[in-house]
Amino acid sequence: MPATPGNVILVGFMGAGKSTVGRLLARRLGRCFVETDAIITAREGRSIPEIFAERGEPYFRQLEAEALEALADKCGHVVATGGGFPCAPGAMDRLLGLGTVVWLAADFDAVYARANRVGGRPMLADRSVEEAAALYRARQDHYRRAHLALDTTRMTVDAVVGRIVRYLRERERSARAPETAAESASPLDLPAGVGEPREGDA
């Protein structure tokens, strides 16, 4: 396995905890923390809901593509991406080449509740629960290409960060000892049910 590139990139559905985990992970690793949504809002001078309301989703996806280009200049950062960020054509390939990609997975019920509790989610504003569940399912094929998948449904933030740190250390050791790579750096298997809404949600 090649040496682990500097960036750690978090992907996952809205409400997965990417920002919260990313901030703590960055502190734990002594790295800078970057959010792709923050890159966009800084450049535009307005919030994500305002961008959606004034210019629409296609324009926002264009801004995400520009933010992806900006990530090419980052090294040694912890990056939290928007929920749809890895789903554009070619985006996940680019992310996989920029660092270690970690999918924060969780039950649909959990992420949907969290996302609505925080608010400010344009992609959920006009969607029913069933439509949100369909969007959740549609994004799974992109997320599951990550180097590491963690079911965070019942994990604390500290536990999630600890598991990511251990995985990064395992990858580094594997890079130094290729013969042990298969044993020490395999990603976690997700429990049955993660990646699918519970019965009654869809």
Q: What is the pLDDT of residue 2?
A: 39
Q: What is the pLDDT of residue 195?
A: 42
Domain boundaries, the chain: 7-184
CA dihedral 157, 163, 169, 173 (to 10 degrees): -170
The three-state secondary structure class of 123 is helix
In tens digits, the chain (202 residues) has pLDDT values of: 333 448 999 999 999 999 999 999 999 999 999 999 999 999 999 999 999 999 999 999 999 999 999 999 899 999 999 999 999 999 999 999 999 999 999 999 999 998 888 777 888 888 899 999 999 999 999 999 999 999 999 999 999 999 999 999 998 888 777 654 444 444 554 543 444 433 333 3
Q: What is the pLDDT of residue 171?
A: 87
Q: What is the pLDDT of residue 188?
A: 52
Q: What is the pLDDT of residue 16?
A: 94
Show contacts of 64-71: CB within 8 Å, 24+ apart: 64/36, 64/40, 64/88, 64/91, 65/91, 67/36, 67/39, 67/40, 68/36, 68/94, 68/95, 70/39, 71/7, 71/9, 71/34, 71/36, 71/95, 71/98
CA gap 177, 25 in Å, rounded? 25
Q: What is the CATH number of domain 7-184?
A: 3.40.50.300
CA dihedral 50, 53, 58, 61 (to 10 degrees): 20
